Amino acid sequence: MNTNRLSTTICEALNNQMTKEAHAAQIYLAYGSWADANGYQGISNFLFRHANEERNHMMKFLEYILERGATVRVQAIPDPGPNPTGVFDCFKKTFEQEVGNTEAIYKIVKQSFDEADWATWNFLQWFVKEQTEEETLVMNMLDKIKIAGGEKASDESLYSIDRDLGSTDDEAELARDKTVEAP
C-alpha cells in the first residue's frame, strides 16, 4: 500500500524549499561573520540568530515531508555569494533574499491550491506569516539606516544602530495582529 501523501511535484517543491531555507541560513551566517569582523557585534548577533531561525525553517520542511510519508532529498547548499560592501548593502541584500524566499513560498502555496492539497496549503500558511514578519523586520532596519544616511551613514549613527540591534526583538509586530483591546 502506498502511504505517500504528497504528489511528485509538491514533494519536489518542498524539498527545493528545504534547500532554500538552508541557503538562507548560510547567507545569514556569512553576513553575521562579515558584520562581526567589521566590528558590528549587535548586527552580527541579530544575523546569527536569524541563521538559526532559517535552519529551523529547513527542519520544519524536512519534518513535514517525512510526516506525509514522502522522501526527503538533502541537496547541496549553494554558496552564499559575496560579502556585503557595507551595513546598508547588508540589509538591502537581506531584504532581497527574504522577498525571493517569500515568492518561492507563494509559488508552492499556489501549487498546493491548484492540486487541492489542503494539508500542504495549511502547513504553508505558517510560512506566509513568518515571511511577512521577516520582511517587516528587515524593512524597519533598512528605514533606520536610510534615516541615518543609507550608504553614506556616519560611523557614529552606525554605532548607535549596532548597539540598539543587540537588544532588538527578533519578531516584527504586524498591524493585522492588533486588536481594539490590544492596539
Query: What x/- string results for residues 120 through 139 when contact with ligand OFO is judged by CB under 6 A?
Result: ----------xx--x-----
101 versus 158: smaller Cβ distance to ligand OFO: 101
Residue burial 1-38, b: 16+ Cβ < 10 Å; e: rest:
eeeeebeeebbebbbebbbbbbbbbbbbbbbbbbbeeb
DSSP alpha helices (H): ranges in 38-117?
Answer: 41-67, 87-114
- For ligand OFO, which is the closer residue by CB, 89 or 130? 130
Candidates 15, 44, 101, 111; binder of ligand OFO (CB under 6 A) is 101
Residues in 16-75 at the binding interface with ligand OFO, rule: CB under 6 A: 21, 24, 54, 57
The x, y and z cell numbers of residue 28, run together, are: 545569514
Residue 93 makes contact with ligand OFO by CB under 6 A = no
Q: Please tell me the distance from the alpha carbon of residue 61 to that of residue 100, in angstroms, as a whole number.
A: 17
Positions touching ligand OFO (CB under 6 A) are 21, 24, 54, 57, 98, 101, 130-131, 134
